[in-house]
Structure 1
């Protein structure tokens, strides 16, 4: 398995310290963010590139362009600026998340957004990583629908999916698409009382023996299907973020996954 680290796994660390931690954990691939923490607005692309080079890590994505499927307002300008930053800092891809506030986005609008983003990404040598969100209010919950839209936009060479184990579980998806998957996000939910439809980002911790999302089964299925990309830790839990020693907690979770996959 190839593990990667999303900066949200330890948002209290500076970018330099985060890169150093990831490398010590044996995760040479990292994701930076433009929200928590907001690296894009606080550091120049050249600073990020130099820090990654010094630490010996590769930036696999910036997380995230939102809401990518509503191609209006300032989104085109924001998309171009984020793509420019990604190319300049050495990132290989942009994670793209759909509108997630209860409003519907039509399939035609989804295709139109993917069509508009395609030349922007291609010109910079970037992959668009489409991440369906499993929340009931999400405008794109299904990976199957995302693939249909990608094909309709002629984007099979430009786009790949993010398989997020949390969102896969929330959406109730049964089908896996390892051949379409470019990145896997892993996190676990251990609260025994929360209903699936009520699960939210703050419930997402690290993967351990109490996990309710079936992370281990999902990982086994993806590997058996030929997926050979990174598995990136993406916990949103405030309890994880408050840990004084995130490195040890992440190492323990990695060991649990390795021992049972």
Structure 2
């Protein structure tokens, strides 16, 4: 699969209807390429306010409208937390069969949610403010059976020595699995 990330531009003046129509058009355009190659496209809504596609429910509707079965959605726990969808939205308005992959990370710093950025993303621990464990539990309860991958972008994680990161990953998996 190839992960497709939307546009992040504070100067994007398009309204939500225009963005949706253009997203559907793009999905229809690329659909045959994915079909012919035997690959899938994974849409990853990014929860940032300036993002052109921040909702997994909207992404699902765009896939449905495109009528291209080659697309799935990446549920990123960081972007879900900062984006417009809620736990109730996922339970009531989202079809879990559209989920192709889950990206997980945690945020532990005490700053306003609107200030969260990729450099705040660490491994998932009990101090996580994103409710990542709760998100995973919900997605599994709804029937998700696919892969879950870590996506911590923090420099702090990237600079860990190999043994320390192995231990941190083990602790994160243990915490999530309880």
CA-CA distance at 1:255 after TM superposition: 1.2
Q: Secondary structure at the match of 1:106?
A: helix
CA-CA distance at 1:152 after TM superposition: 1.4
Summarize the alignment of residues 125-204 of structure 1 with structure 2, pairs less than 5 Å apart.
125-155=38-68, 157-174=69-86, 175-176=89-90, 177=94, 178-192=96-110, 194-204=111-121
Normalised by the length of structure 1, the TM-score is: 0.61
Give the Cα separation in 2 of the matches to 1:212 and 1:137.
Answer: 22
Summarize the alignment of residues 1-261 of structure 1 with structure 2, pairs less than 5 Å apart.
93-102=1-10, 103=12, 104=14, 106-155=19-68, 157-174=69-86, 175-176=89-90, 177=94, 178-192=96-110, 194-245=111-162, 246-259=165-178
Q: Which runs of 5+ in 2 are unaligned?
A: none
Tell me, yes or no, if the aligned pair for 2:105 and 2:150 is still in contact at 8 Å.
Answer: yes
Q: Which has the higher strand share?
A: 1
Instruction: Provide the aligned length of Structure 1 versus Structure 2.
Output: 165
Q: Which has the higher helix share?
A: 2
Moved over 6 A (4+): none
CA-CA distance at 1:150 after TM superposition: 1.0
Q: Secondary structure at the match of 1:182?
A: strand
CA-CA distance at 1:166 after TM superposition: 0.5
Give the Cα separation in 2 of the matches to 1:149 and 1:220.
Answer: 26
Give the Cα separation in 2 of the matches to 1:162 and 1:219.
Answer: 13
Give the Cα separation in 1 of the matches to 2:174 and 2:20.
Answer: 41
CA-CA distance at 1:140 after TM superposition: 0.6
Q: Quote the RMSD (CA, aligned, Å).
A: 1.1
